[in-house]
Amino acid sequence: MPGNSPTLPPITITDQPMTAADPKWLASDSQIAEAKKILDQHAYETVQWHFHDSTGSPFWLAKKAELKFDPLTEIKGFDDIKKFPEFEDEWLRGGPVERWIPKGLRGKPTYVFETGGTTGIPKSRVVIDDFRIDYETFSHTLPDEYFPKGANWLMLGPSGPRRLRLAVEHLCQYRGGICFCIDLDPRWVIKLIKKGWMEHLEEYKKHCIDQAITILTANHDIKCMFATPKLLESLAMGLAEKGLSIKDVGITGIFSGGTEFTPQWTRFCVEELLEGLPQESGVYMTPTYGNTLMGLACSRPITDEDDYTIAYYAPQPRAVVEIVDFDDINKVVGYGETGRVKLYTMTKEFFVPGFMERDEGERERPFQKYPWDGVSGVRPYRGFASSTTVGVY
């Protein structure tokens, strides 16, 4: 059943310089074929689970009656998932959220996480164990040299009814540490921006950074942290005012994420905030791309030889990202070409057969460690960019 499908064997990645065009860093045909085989089996099992009367959720069992095909007999692999109509994010607004809980998981302790919609009725996703599975999988991609097992963590990001806080806390606990968190309400940040209260916004950001610095200088032996790019920069500046650096307070591993992660910002962060690449500074930063619907997409190693390009790879087979044509969402663009991000989520808890994200980017070739398509240059989708507030924290 989905969630228990075989995973790809670990692949050792050397520390040699890497560029996207370097053939030795590209996935082999056999690796790509094996990943596709695993994905097809996982897609089939996911559909069987969500559309069988004994295990499916009330939402998908009701939707089955509206479809022009029988998912239980006609979905044989991942490509068949495209027979489903586009997933509408409005389905996630309002309740009752119980309609999303599969019968096969009924009675288990359940969380509800908000995703997107920083104004109005938020979109909600019910979760049982997916956030734990996603972040345990991510844990195995972290180098222990910089993210030591047993180390304590700081969570410097949005709190409240958002998956990220609990997920980072679980990641820390899974690796044997204790997680320290700050309070941050993105909805209040949005209100400050819309009212033009920039002085209040700066004070609120300073309030969040003050919390972080207090924790980092209280002898809690924190070596790892999550931080958004904007907050990481603000933290470095706040520490500098006290004559300290991120390295000085003991941080060796940083997990970060957000659309602020451009090659230009990454170069600035590595060269100015972290004082060099890991082998020089002793501080390792790994960008990620994800959300409450997808999970967590990891990046291939960042190097100056590759001009600090950040390429993300979704956590297949539990989630798949395609880069599709702006005018035809069922047409994948060529490698290196620009398109909109299309997401598929396939777990026992949640099924999304094609959701159009509010992002665009360039399609990247399969990578050795992640032998499936990736995406680089992630940024707000041009159709929404002028009307969407992003990067508020």
> What pLDDT score was predicted for residue 16?
39
Convert the pLDDT of each residue in 65-114 to its tens digit. 999 999 999 999 999 999 999 999 889 988 899 999 999 999 999 998 87
Pick from 304, 306, 321, 317: nearest CA to 363: 321
Q: Say which CATH architecture domain 129-309 belongs to.
A: 3-Layer(aba) Sandwich (3.40)
C-alpha–C-alpha distance, residues 266 and 257, integer Å: 11
86 and 57 in contact (C-beta within 8 Å)?
no
243-258 core/surface letters (b: 16 or more CB in 10 A; e: else): eebbbebbbbbbbbbb
375 and 361 in contact (C-beta within 8 Å)?
yes
> What pLDDT score was predicted for residue 386?
52
Greatest CA separation for the chain: 65
> What pLDDT score was predicted for residue 385?
53
- For CA atoms 143, 10, 48, 294, give the dihedral sign: positive
> What pLDDT score was predicted for residue 119?
55
Mean pLDDT, all residues of the chain: 86
Six-digit token pair at 238?
């706040």
> What pLDDT score was predicted for residue 280?
76
> Where residue 120 falls among pLDDT bands split at 50, 70, 90?
low
Convert the pLDDT of each residue in 242-293 to its tens digit. 999 999 999 999 988 766 777 888 888 888 888 877 777 889 988 888 777 8
C-alpha–C-alpha distance, residues 2 and 38, integer Å: 11
For range 366-374, the mean pLDDT: 93
For range 355-371, the mean pLDDT: 92
Higher pLDDT, 161 or 87: 87
The structure's pTM equals 0.85
C-alpha–C-alpha distance, residues 65 and 78, integer Å: 21
CA angle 97, 102, 108 (to 5 degrees): 85
Q: Is the pLDDT of residue 370 over 70?
A: yes
What ranges make up the beta strands (E) of the chain?
111-115, 123-127, 152-156, 179-181, 222-227, 253-257, 284-291, 295-299, 311-313, 319-324, 338-346, 351-364, 374-380
Query: Where along the chain do the CATH 3.40.50.2300 domains lie?
Result: 129-309
Measure CA 105 to chain center.
Answer: 24
Alpha helices in the chain (DSSP H): 29-51, 58-64, 71-74, 130-139, 163-174, 186-195, 198-216, 229-240, 263-268, 278-281
For range 17-27, the mean pLDDT: 61
Higher pLDDT, 15 or 340: 340
391 and 258 in contact (C-beta within 8 Å)?
yes
